[in-house]
C-alpha cells in the first residue's frame, strides 16, 4: 500500500508586520505565477487544501496560503494573547504586503474570500501596481450587521460551537457533507474572540461603499465569484460591487460562503477559466 503524502509544504517564517515580530505559518505548493490565497474570518489556510493539491493549478502557479496572525498555526505576537482584537483594513493590508515582501513575490495574484474578498478591494485601491490580478470570492463593498456578533465571544456560550454553527448555515445544502464538516471544524478551532474581531473589519472598518470610484481596474484586473447560497455576501451584494467597478461576476450555483472549502471540486471548475485569463494576459 502506497502512503498518500500531499505535495503541500507548511513552514513558519519570522516576519515583521507594522513593526511587530510575528511567527507566521504558511503553506505552499507549485511553481510559477505567485498566487496568494486569503482565508475567511475566524478560519485558517486549510480552506485552500484542494487548490494546493490541484496539479492543474500548481503546474502553473506557486500557491501560497498564510494563516493570519491569531488564526490557525499563526499565534498572536508575543504579549498580545489577552489584548482585545479588532481587525482593521490597515492592519490587514499590512499583513498581506509584509507576507508578499518577505516571500519576495514578483507581481503576485491575490485571491481572498469574504473578508479576503473585501481586502482585495483595498489592495486594488491602495496598491494596484503591486499585483498582477485580484480575485474576490464572496466579495462586496459592505455587509450590514444582521446578527449580534457579541454572541461569538462571551463566557456563557462555547465560542467554538457557535462559530461552527454560524459557518454551517452559510454553506449550500448541496455541498458534500465531509467538506462542510471540515469547514465548520476550522471555525470550531478558532481562538476566543478572533471571529468576532475579524467581523469588525468585515462589518465596520472595511466598508468600501464610498471608495469604489477610486478603484481603477485598468491598473489591476479584478475577478469576482460568489456562491448563490451565501446570505452574508449575497449575489446581489456582489452584483452591486461588480456593476460599480465595471467587472464581470460569476455566480456559482449550489455554492455558499466558502467555495474553496465547502465544495472544492465544483469551485475549481469555476476558478480555472479565471486563472487561464490571468495567465494569458
User: From the CB of 259, what's the least distance to another protein, in Å?
Assistant: 14
Size of the site for another protein (CB under 8 A): 22
User: From the CB of 210, what's the least distance to another protein, in Å?
Assistant: 23
Stretch that binds another protein, among 23-31, 105-113, 122-130, 153-161 (CB under 8 A): 153-161
> Is 157 a binder of another protein (CB under 8 A)?
yes
* Closer to another protein by Cβ: residue 75 or 232: 232
In residues, how long is the chain? 281
* Closer to another protein by Cβ: residue 26 or 229: 229
Stretch that binds another protein, among 5-13, 34-42, 110-118, 171-179 (CB under 8 A): 171-179
Among 14, 19, 173, 269, binds another protein (CB under 8 A): 173
Among 136, 164, 190, 192, binds another protein (CB under 8 A): 164
**Cα distances (angstroms) measured from residue 227 to each of 51, 163, 230, 264:** 17, 20, 6, 12
* Closer to another protein by Cβ: residue 104 or 156: 156
* Closer to another protein by Cβ: residue 228 or 276: 228
> Is 97 a binder of another protein (CB under 8 A)?
no
Residues near another protein, by CB under 8 A? 146-147, 151, 156-158, 161-162, 164-166, 168-170, 172-174, 228-231, 234
Amino acid at each position: 500500500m502506497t502512503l498518500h503524502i500531499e505535495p503541500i509544504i507548511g513552514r513558519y517564517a519570522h516576519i515583521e508586520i507594522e513593526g511587530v515580530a510575528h511567527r507566521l505559518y504558511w503553506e505552499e505548493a507549485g511553481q510559477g505565477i505567485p498566487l496568494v490565497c486569503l482565508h475567511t474570518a475566524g478560519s485558517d489556510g486549510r480552506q485552500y487544501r484542494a487548490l494546493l493539491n490541484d496539479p492543474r493549478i500548481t503546474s502553473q502557479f506557486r500557491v501560497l496560503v498564510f494563516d493570519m496572525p491569531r488564526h490557525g498555526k499563526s499565534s498572536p505576537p508575543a504579549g498580545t494573547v489577552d489584548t482585545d482584537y479588532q481587525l482593521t483594513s490597515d492592519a490587514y493590508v499590512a499583513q498581506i504586503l509584509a507576507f508578499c515582501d518577505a516571500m519576495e513575490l514578483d507581481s503576485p495574484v491575490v485571491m481572498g474570500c469574504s473578508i479576503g474578498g473585501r481586502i482585495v478591494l483595498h489592495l486594488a485601491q491602495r496598491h494596484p501596481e503591486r499585483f498582477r490580478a485580484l480575485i474576490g470570492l464572496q466579495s462586496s463593498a459592505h455587509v450590514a450587521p444582521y446578527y449580534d456578533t457579541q454572541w461569538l465571544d462571551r463566557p456563557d456560550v462555547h465560542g467554538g460551537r457557535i462559530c461552527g454553527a454560524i459557518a454551517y448555515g452559510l454553506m449550500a445544502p448541496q455541498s458534500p457533507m465531509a467538506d462542510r464538516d471540515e469547514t465548520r471544524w476550522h471555525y470550531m478551532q478558532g481562538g476566543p474572540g478572533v471571529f468576532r474581531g475579524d467581523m469588525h473589519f468585515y462589518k465596520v472598518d472595511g466598508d468600501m461603499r464610498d471608495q469604489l470610484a477610486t478603484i481603477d481596474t485598468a491598473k489591476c484586473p479584478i475577478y469576482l465569484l460568489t456562491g448563490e447560497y451565501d446570505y452574508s455576501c449575497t449575489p446581489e451584494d456582489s452584483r452591486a460591487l461588480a456593476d460599480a467597478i465595471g467587472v464581470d461576476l460569476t455566480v456559482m450555483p449550489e455554492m455558499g460562503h466558502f467555495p474553496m472549502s465547502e465544495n472544492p471540486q465544483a469551485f475549481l471548475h469555476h476558478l480555472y477559466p479565471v486563472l487561464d485569463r490571468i495567465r494569458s494576459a
